[in-house]
Amino acid sequence: MDEYLIQNQLKEYIEGLIESFEIFQGVDTKGLFNKVVITIKKQIFLFCLIVAGLLLVLFGFILSVNLIPIQDFDPSTMTKIEEEKFLNEMALNYPLGKLLVKVGLVIFIPSLFGSVYLLLKKLIKQANK
């Protein structure tokens, strides 16, 4: 309830502030506040997705990586298939790590492009003014 009250007070304050500028005289400023809030929420959401994607990639990499030092076994005595099988067995959880890396990249890349798109859109809009 308090959050709703604070948000309404902030909305009224910003709308009053916007209306006090001469540029916005005669312009409907009611929708302007909502557009600004939605844009800020989109940016925060995309930033959270970027961080979540990076964390998933990091945790997935840690899970899928071999934690035994490479000096402790001799790969020259193994075939390539045996070496890959050994490294997969020595990882903490190779299938889960591989899945987390892929999911993290699927989340990270589109959210990064979305964030860049919003930034470029904002810069182009400012350049046209």
Instruction: Identify the pLDDT of residue 31.
Output: 61
Q: Note whether residue 85 is domain-resident.
A: yes
Q: Which residues of the chain have pLDDT under 70?
A: 1, 13-38, 70-73, 75, 129
Instruction: Identify the pLDDT of residue 97.
Output: 92
Instruction: Identify the pLDDT of residue 121.
Output: 84
Distance CA(129)–CA(125), nearest Å, equals 7
For the chain, what is the radius of gyration of the CA atoms? 25
Q: Note whether residue 12 is domain-resident.
A: no
* pTM beyond 0.75: no
Q: Note whether residue 1 is domain-resident.
A: no
Distance CA(82)–CA(86), nearest Å, equals 6
Count of the separate structural domains present in the chain: 1
Q: Note whether residue 8 is domain-resident.
A: no
Instruction: Identify the pLDDT of residue 54.
Output: 96
Residue 81: domain span: 61-129
Q: Note whether residue 56 is domain-resident.
A: no
Q: How many CB atoms lie within 10 A of CB 57?
A: 18
Q: Note whether residue 100 is domain-resident.
A: yes
